[in-house]
A and B are shown apart, each in its own frame.
Chain A
Amino acid sequence: MTRREFMLRSAVYGSSLWMLLNTPRPRALRAAQETARREVLSEAEWKTVEAITGRIIPTDHEPGAIEANCVNFIDKALAHEDAKMKPLYKKGLAGLDAVSKRRFAKPFVDLSSAQQDEILAALESGKAAGWPRGDATAGEFFTTVREHTLIGFLADPKYGGNRDYVGWKVVGYPGGGHHLGGYSPAQLIGKEKIKTAWGEEV
């Protein structure tokens, strides 16, 4: 199908993938699920990234990014496929805390949800007072974490997010059809139930 490149490629991978080519290290996927082992983020950074993901896909009557362990997906992506984005995260997280402290005199993790949203909205618009001068812009950092959060929520759990399939359960995706043996004509029109990747019938 036809497309317009900038919309249809993901923002994170679309423009930068070609520069990342030299790091195609197939990694042990099991490592991605070892949530206890931080590979890139410090303990404090982990908490901050987790808090951001929690505002991007918040928990309501259903689980959100925190329950899906999106931060673990991000940590593992930064350790491997997205290693070139490490500096953006390091600078971005420092910038986020600088902006939070300027506005509310506290680091991001200690803010209320409403305050956190205000800070993130400022980053998104690129008008974040206190953001350090330098190459990484606030908007770029926000876009990257937002997209990483979505990927952590909705990619296969083997990548370290979407824990216990919560992302797929929230959006109503049964999992990759081919792995589940495909669908019968009756299933295509709802005359028969579909089995999900986690063994439920829906």
Chain B
Amino acid sequence: MPTHEEFDVCVIGTGAGGGVMIEQLTAAGLRVVALQRGPFLKPSDFDDDELRTVIRDQVFSPDQIETYRYDAKSPTETGKFSMTAHCVGGTMTHWAAWSWRFRPDDFHVLSTDGPVAGASLADWPITYDELEPFYERAEWEFGVAGDAAGNPFASPRKKGYPNPAHPGRTASARIARAARKLGYHPFPTPMAINSQPYGGRPECVYGGACQQYGCSINAKATTLSVCIPKALATGKLDLRPQAMAREITLGKDGRARSVRYLDDKRAEHEVFARQIVVAGNAFGTPHLLLMSTSGSFPQGLANGSGLVGRNLTFHHAAAVNFTIDEPARSFAALETHVALDDLHASDARRGFIRGGVVAEFNMLMKQPLAFALTGLPGYPATRTWGSDLKDYLRKFPHAIGAVGILEDLPMEENRVDLDPSIKDHYGLPAPRLTHRQHPNDIAMNRWFTTRLLDLADAAGAVDKWSAAAFALPNERAAMKGSAHFHGTCRMGDDPKRSVIDRWCRSHEVENLWIVDSSVFPTSGGYNPTLTILANAYRVVDHFVHEAKRQNL
């Protein structure tokens, strides 16, 4: 008999994957302890103060330290590269809430497009049809607002969206009109934001500072606003914020036994559980596994394949800013209201495989500092100060952005590992990112940038510029970090070529599960999170079923 308290499940990370696991495991009556780095924030902690939240980053990730290098031969930089939110609810707390289902072929890139030199393409071990009911569940739990008939290229679905699409702003109407002019099929971007009261949460007020912010009225569906309250209400959840997991220990029986974690004063604690679910995202999960070394796993827990941390994908984005001859009102409402999927399908004749979705996108002009600091690079001004700068700033009300969310090809060398010398805020080895682009990404990024410039012209652009904040202009350009992070603990059927099986359970440690963005073998050309949520509902159903049959 253990002398210490033992929980049924310990979940590390309370974001998209972890939040759903916690909600469903506690609903099934299991006793769960959840460890989350950073604070438990309340809606009243959120406002639209751009300096505090975005520029100085004092709300979501003040204690994050990472290092980045282009490849193994390049120098290392220290900074913040991934846009993780370290707080209860994880990164969805400040997400924008675009909510897509992947397309059937997104799960079978290798068999659809064939192998590509330099890329580690792989099929997912699951199909769209297997995930379809769980996409539906995620859409209904998170109250996605959209028009189910709007996108002629969307995956087949059995049921519509629970909420009607959001009204757009002037900018959205301009992009929709331009898209139609070019023969495309624009439709309202599906958003997990209430367009009417739903799930006990109010409707959105369209304040504007949405992406990169917490929602102060809970109109935005996040694991913090949807899953955590339900889990707490069961009385089965022991939620521990300010808990940075630093090691998962292994018992003599080869099963994961406990989690050691540091609180905000760096004091160490240990918690024991029969099942351990890691949901720290594509950086946090490999970081923790690689720190958890033992005699049986000298290269990190569950890393017999050597693949923990590898095949990191980020998406890349083509983004174009332009101005129109009337106020565009990009500062109001959601990050995006209109999208088109006409350019998405893989077609090697374009000079690259795969693709992505195109949408209206206000990230670089939703507030004045965003426009001043990040919208400007790429704008054809002689000087970035003086009267040139002031004239640029005055374009703010007329500015519109458009983006392509583009699938990047996985490469084994793109990875997360432990920095050999730099320590993070907790005194642990900082996560080190090594990331460069596959030539396919560069070709795709250029092609989509040209299409977006055409779209800007069709929308009557007065000025237009490719947003240098995102462009991949040359072979050595690379995403150093991202808001979309996937891979690093691939799921697959072959234990030599993947870290976890189709149920997101370690091939090697039978009571260790990974349920977050790190399980993606390939990245898809859509924002990833509805797929993370749907996959978590799929896995937790299986988990609870097995637990009831005493199979765990």
Which residue numbers of A lie inside 8 Å of B, CB to CB? Answer: 1-11, 13-15, 17-18, 21, 24, 55-58, 60, 62, 64, 81, 117, 120-121, 124, 146-147, 150-151, 153-156, 159, 167-168, 170-174, 176-185, 187-190, 194
CB distance from B203 to the nearest CB of A (A): 10
CB under 8 Å from chain A, chain B span 417-463: 425
B170, B372, B390: which contacts A190 (Cβ < 8 A)?
B170
Do B62 and A21 touch across chains, with their CB atoms under 8 A apart?
yes
Beta-carbon nearest neighbor of B215 in chain A = A178
Chain B residues positioned under 8 Å from A150 (CB to CB): 369, 372-373, 389
Q: How far is the CA of A1 from the CA of B483 in the complex (A)?
A: 5
A3, A151, A189: which contacts B369 (Cβ < 8 A)?
A151
Chain B residues positioned under 8 Å from A181 (CB to CB): 205
Knowing A13-B57, A188-B169, A188-B333 touch, does A176 contact B209 (C-beta < 8 A)? yes
CB distance from B438 to the nearest CB of A (A): 15
Beta-carbon nearest neighbor of A52 in chain B = B385
Query: Chain B interface secondary structure, helix, strand, loop or mixed?
Result: loop
Knowing A56-B386, A188-B168 touch, does A170 contact B80 (C-beta < 8 A)? no
A64, A179, A183: which contacts B390 (Cβ < 8 A)?
A64
CB distance from B174 to the nearest CB of A (A): 10
Do A146 and B484 touch across chains, with their CB atoms under 8 A apart?
no
Knowing A58-B386, A178-B205 touch, does A10 contact B80 (C-beta < 8 A)? no
Counting CB contacts under 8 A, is B167 at the interface?
A: yes
Counting CB contacts under 8 A, is B225 at the interface?
A: no
Interchain Cβ contacts under 8 Å between A and B, 11 examples: A1-B317, A1-B363, A2-B314, A60-B390, A64-B390, A121-B383, A150-B389, A155-B51, A155-B369, A188-B329, A188-B333
Interface size on B, residues (CB 8 A): 79
CB distance from B395 to the nearest CB of A (A): 9
Do A177 and B56 touch across chains, with their CB atoms under 8 A apart?
no
Chain A residues positioned under 8 Å from B367 (CB to CB): 173
Beta-carbon nearest neighbor of A65 in chain B = B390
CB under 8 Å from chain A, chain B span 208-239: 208-209, 211, 216
Counting CB contacts under 8 A, is B110 at the interface?
A: no
Counting CB contacts under 8 A, is B335 at the interface?
A: yes
Q: Which of B42-50, B246-254, B298-306, B500-508 contacts A (4 or more CB under 8 A)?
A: B42-50
Q: Among the interface residues B208, B216, B368, which one has the most CB atoms of the partner chain A within 10 A?
A: B368
Knowing A10-B373, A58-B390 touch, does A187 contact B332 (C-beta < 8 A)? yes
Q: How far is the CA of A124 from the CA of B386 in the complex (A)?
A: 13
Do A3 and B389 touch across chains, with their CB atoms under 8 A apart?
no
Do B469 and A3 touch across chains, with their CB atoms under 8 A apart?
yes
Knowing A1-B361, A117-B386, A170-B393 touch, does A178 contact B51 (C-beta < 8 A)? no
CB distance from B56 to the nearest CB of A (A): 6
Q: Among the interface residues B316, B361, B373, which one has the most CB atoms of the partner chain A within 10 A?
A: B373
Beta-carbon nearest neighbor of B315 in chain A = A2
Do B58 and A24 touch across chains, with their CB atoms under 8 A apart?
yes
CB distance from A124 to the nearest CB of B (A): 8
Q: How far is the CA of A58 from the CA of B374 in the complex (A)?
A: 21
Chain B residues positioned under 8 Å from A179 (CB to CB): 47-48, 207
Q: How far is the CA of A188 from the CA of B483 in the complex (A)?
A: 27
Chain A residues positioned under 8 Å from B478 (CB to CB): 4
Chain B residues positioned under 8 Å from A121 (CB to CB): 383
Counting CB contacts under 8 A, is B260 at the interface?
A: no
